[in-house]
Amino acid sequence: DTEVTQTPKHLVMGMTNKKSLKCEQHMGHRAMYWYKQKAKKPPELMFVYSYEKLSINESVPSRFSPECPNSSLLNLHLHALQPEDSALYLCASSQQGFSNQPQHFGDGTRLSIL
Amino acid sequence: QKEVEQDPGPLSVPEGAIVSLNCTYSNSAFQYFMWYRQYSRKGPELLMYTYSSGNKEDGRFTAQVDKSSKYISLFIRDSQPSDSATYLCAMSDSGGSNYKLTFGKGTLLTVNP
């Protein structure tokens, strides 16, 4: 079992729906990340939170809205998504937000947009 | 030229074989090197984490970094069917606050019983 927990594991939603993905870690890590992964591709960075503040937004469309309520929790709010947004959404965490620290991933939420 | 090149395979080997997985890179600023294993429908799992040149061994796994050639390898000894997965190399620079990992495309490995 991973130490980064993501819920739900699967999500199917229509293009007009609003839903949220949740990520939780209890390793005391202060940096948390959202990635998007398409089939047979490596993960692509979307957002980085460091000490609960948004540090990086990789030019992600506004239909994706991240939130970090506290140091253990990370949410990704979804609204008006497109079929091309169907992918595996991965959460990761690291001790702090430095690139020399390994990131630990959850098992992801598999999202399908109808 | 991509920053990180990794042969996507697929690679198929018999059980017990020694497996060699490789990545080359072009950015000489990369100092930290990671190997992740990703099973189907799971997230990437950190296997090995190494700093700069040298070798690191953990059980059946050995990570090797050759900075002069900009080449990293992961060796799996006595491979098992449970090693069947996609292996991703990842690397980062000297630890500034840019957070970014640069991934290879991943190599799909199948170990046949």
Instruction: Quickly list DSSP for A25-50.
Output: E-S--SEEEEEEE-TTS--EEEEEEE
Q: Does A30 touch chain B (CB under 8 A)?
A: no
In this complex, do B97 and A97 lie within 8 Å of one another by their Cβ atoms? yes
C-alpha–C-alpha distance, residues B100 and A36, integer Å: 14
When CB atoms are compared, the residue of A40, A56, A107 closest to B99 is A56
DSSP 8-state secondary structure symbol assigned to residue A51? T
The verdict on a CB contact (< 8 Å) between B32 and A100 is: yes
- Give the residue from B88, B92, B52, B58 showing the smallest Cα distance to A94: B92
Rounded to the nearest 10 degrees, how much is the dihedral formed by the CA atoms of B42, B44, B46, B52?
170
* pLDDT for res A110: 97
Task: Determine the residue of chain B that is closest to A3 in CA distance.
Answer: B45
Tell whether A112 lies on the interface with B, counting CB pairs under 8 A: no
Span B20-79, pLDDT tens digits: 999 999 998 888 999 999 999 999 999 999 987 889 999 999 999 999 999 999 999 999
Q: How far apart are CA A11 and CA A21, in angstroms?
A: 9
